[in-house]
Structure 1
Amino acid sequence: MLKNLDPLLNADILHALRSMGHGDELVICDANFPGTSVAQGTVLGKLLHMDGVSSPRAIRAVLSVMPLDTFIEQPASRMEVVGEPHTIPAVQREAQAEVNAAQGREVPFASIERFAFYERARKAFCVIATGEERGYGCFVFTKGVLLAPDARLGQSIE
């Protein structure tokens, strides 16, 4: 156990999160998502696991340590419901609440059509599979940056 870290963040996930750079994308998916085959095309090349937890709970764990990109308009995306792109299922409403809580502000999800979501996921840095049994518990997050206070002002840090 480590202090101040969500216990869901296992060594493989922590390594992936730390290895990601600004603008890299991470996918959190439900149990129905073709995680293994999609993850083979990612930068990491293998599927990561948070078995037995919901997608919203996995999002809370990841966003407890990973900043979202503030330089782009939509750093968080969700998979659209097939044939109903404006429908927001309960799992996505719960995930939205986790994102907003982590960011301390509203960060609305962009929506991605199902097959476009698969293609985007294959280009991500990594995919984390959850035990989420509800459909459409699939999300993409773009990693942001943490700047030292003086670095924001263009000053050197000594």
Structure 2
Amino acid sequence: MKKNALINAELSYVIATLGHTDEITICDAGLPIPDESQRIDLALIPGVPSFIETVKAVLGEMQIEGVIMAEEFKSVSPEHHAALITLIEQEQQACGKTIRIDYVPHDAFKVHTQNSKAVVRTGECTPYANVIFQSGVVF
């Protein structure tokens, strides 16, 4: 369910049409995107937009109740992982609800992206900077 204003029309539309438990993926520039998934390509040049900037914009619009990340994210890109965890903790505080976090091997993560209504490609070039958000409800 949508929460606020987002300028990108395609991304805003996808978020506005999410139902409870629907998923979207936000990924780095290198994650393979399944042919069956809607692709929202925001990447301009390496690093633009960043993974964290994109996550912030999405969290400003989308109510989430679950998060899926690759296990490798923690050890290979700890700074980006910590920044994402901080944003999720802030979101929990803001909405007053617990957000479940699950970790899976990267290969399983890539397969799971096939369940996403959309995959949002950023310009991020940090390994494993990918997340799947599961839509929650605002009530």
Q: Structure 1 length normalisation: TM-score?
A: 0.72
Unaligned residue ranges in structure 1 (runs of 5+): 70-74, 148-158
Counterpart position of 1:65: 61
**Are the counterparts in 2 of residues 47 and 129 from structure 1 also a CA contact under 8 Å?**
yes
Structure 2 residue aligned with 1:20, among 12, 18, 21? 18
Q: How far apart are 1:109 and its partner, in Å?
A: 3.1
Which has the bigger relative contact order, CA under 8 A and spacing at least 6? Answer: 2
Aligned residues: 128
String of CA shifts for 1:57-87, please: whole Å, max 9, x gaps. 1111101111112xxxxx0121121xxx862
Q: Kindly provide the amino acid, as one letter, of the partner of residue 10 in structure 1.
A: N
SS where residue 109 of structure 1 aligns? strand
Q: Kindly provide the amino acid, as one letter, of the partner of residue 117 in structure 2.
A: F
Q: How far apart are 1:101 and its partner, in Å?
A: 1.6
Q: Distance in 2 between matches of 1:118 and 1:67?
A: 23
**Are the counterparts in 2 of residues 53 and 130 from structure 1 also a CA contact under 8 Å?**
yes
Please identify the structure whose Cα radius of gyration is greater: 1
**Are the counterparts in 2 of residues 20 and 143 from structure 1 also a CA contact under 8 Å?**
yes
Moved over 4 A (4+): 105-108
Q: Distance in 1 between matches of 2:74 and 2:14?
A: 32
Structure number having the greater strand percentage: 2
- What does residue range 47-126 of structure 1 map to in structure 2 within 5 Å? 47-51=39-43, 52-69=48-65, 75-81=66-72, 87=75, 89-104=78-93, 107=99, 109-126=101-118
CA RMSD in angstroms comes to 2.0
